[in-house]
Structures are given as structure tokens and as C-alpha cells.
Amino acid sequence: MDRFVVISGCSSAGKSTLIGELGKRGYAVVDEPGRRIVKEELASGGSALPWVDRIAFARRVITMALADRATAYSLDGWVFFDRGLIDAASALQHLTGEPALATLGQVNRYHRLVFLTPPWPEIYRTDPERRHGLDMALAEYSRLIQIYPSLGYEVSILPKVGVEERADFVLGTLET
């Protein structure tokens, strides 16, 4: 969908902060499915957590990302996704070998331009929902930077600047 824009990339590199800034500017935003699921699983004592059952977690993220896309059709203008279906399908395929990207990634398209946050070790932090270290974040980033172009997306690496400048960069790039 031409107005559905993915912001993906390395964990703890400012994606959610950028999504928050775009939301403050009046754009429709979709929060990261993984973080929402972790909160739900922790609250309910569930096990679909990336540090307990990564496959179950990836499957739940896919389900939520598909629901997010369905809901987003009712929104007007640009819709910015904090990660989403491609990231989840990539994770599931990496973990199981299932052809999740071919099954889901080709049918459920986003805007041709995907913005990736590069690794930014100086701001990397763990928290209750993000317990993995920088090494896992870097491995995931390496997969994503290859997967998006392999699916026909153009990748734009976000500069390591303040959130307002990043939001200006995204919006300016989309206008061209």
C-alpha cells in the first residue's frame, strides 16, 4: 500500500521515538507489535516471549501485524508502522526455515521506500520488553538490510540525528 510506511532497523536505535514524533505531528502511527505482545504476555504470565518461545512470539507478531494493516486501511494519509509484517515474517523464517517472507511479504506490500535505523551503540539500552543484547540487535539488522531489498523495497538509512531532524528527513524524503 503506497501510504503505509515502515520504519524498521536496529533495536534501540530510535524507531519508537521517531514514530512518537510523527504521531505528535498528526500522522497516523502503528506501534511496534512485538512490544505490545511482550507487555500482554508479561501481564498474563504467557510464554510467547522472545526470550522464552521465539517461534510463538514471531507467530503472534505476524497475527498482530496483519490486524494492524487491516485497521490501517481506515486511516487517512501516511500511516507509519514501527516495524511490522516483514520484520516478523523475517524472524519466523530465520527461526524455522518456513517460507514466511514469500507467503506474507509479497502479498502485503508497504510503500516502496523503507526507512531503517542503523545500529547506534551509544544510545542502545535494554528494558523490560527488550532484554536482548546489542549482538542480537546487530544480527537482526544485518538480516533486515538484506531482506527488504530482496523483496523489492528501496532502503533509506536514517541519519543519527535528533528526533525532530529524523522526522523532517522522513517526511522530506517521502515528498520527493
Q: Using one digit for the tens of pLDDT, what is the confidence trace for 35-83?
A: 899 999 989 999 998 889 999 999 999 999 999 999 999 999 999 999 9
Write the CATH number for 19.
Answer: 3.40.50.300
Domain boundaries, position 93: 4-171
Number of domains in the chain: 1
Find, among 171, 137, 173, 136, the residue nearest to 154 by Cα.
173
pTM of the model: 0.91
Q: Do 141 and 118 form a contact (C-beta atoms < 8 A)?
A: yes
Q: Is residue 24 part of a domain?
A: yes
pLDDT at 131 over 70: no
Q: Is residue 176 part of a domain?
A: no
129 phi/psi in degrees, rounded to 5 = -95, -15
